[in-house]
Amino acid sequence: MTYLGLAAVFTAATLPVLALAVVTRRPDRRWWAATGLTAVALAVLTAVFDSVMIAADLFRFDESALTGIHVGLAPIEDFAWPLAATVLVSSLLLLLSPPARHRDPALRSQDQA
């Protein structure tokens, strides 16, 4: 199996969790923005630190199992892991957090009245 195929399996496995979170919790723009910014930050960190670790020869990839597309020295396949982690963790936090009406103090005081 190629690195891209393996990355696709793990990334695809996070999509049902995202779908469940979006359908059941209907996140607002702030959640989408925070999730997007997290993904971008992790992608930048992946590009920088993977390139440093590859340059230091801490690990190597089987070039025949890569697509050949790189960002810095990091193969494009390596960016699937931070993307999958962002989707999975953000979705789980959304699913496991209390509903929005219980987090908002103004709505909580209305419930008690």
Residue 108 belongs to some domain of the structure: no
| 102 within domain boundaries | no
> Which domain range does residue 49 map to?
3-96
- Identify whether 111 is part of a domain: no
Tell me the C-alpha distance between 1 and 58, whole Å.
23
Q: Kindly report, residue by residue over 48-76, the tens digit of the pLDDT.
A: 999 999 899 898 888 888 888 889 888 98
| Over residues 33-59, mean pLDDT | 94
| Token representation of residue 81 | 């892991």
Asked if residue 62 belongs to a domain, the reply is yes
Residue 9 belongs to a domain: yes
Domain count of the fold of the chain: 1
> Is residue 28 included in any domain, yes or no?
yes
Query: Is residue 103, in this structure, part of any structural domain at all?
Result: no
Of 14, 36, 18, 38, nearest in space to 26 by CA:
18
8 Å CB contact between 95 and 25? yes
What band does 80 get if pLDDT is binned at 50, 70 and 90? very high
Residue 67 lies in a domain: yes
Least confident of 39-48, 85-94, 96-105: 96-105
Non-local (6+) Cβ contacts of 60 within 8 A are 54
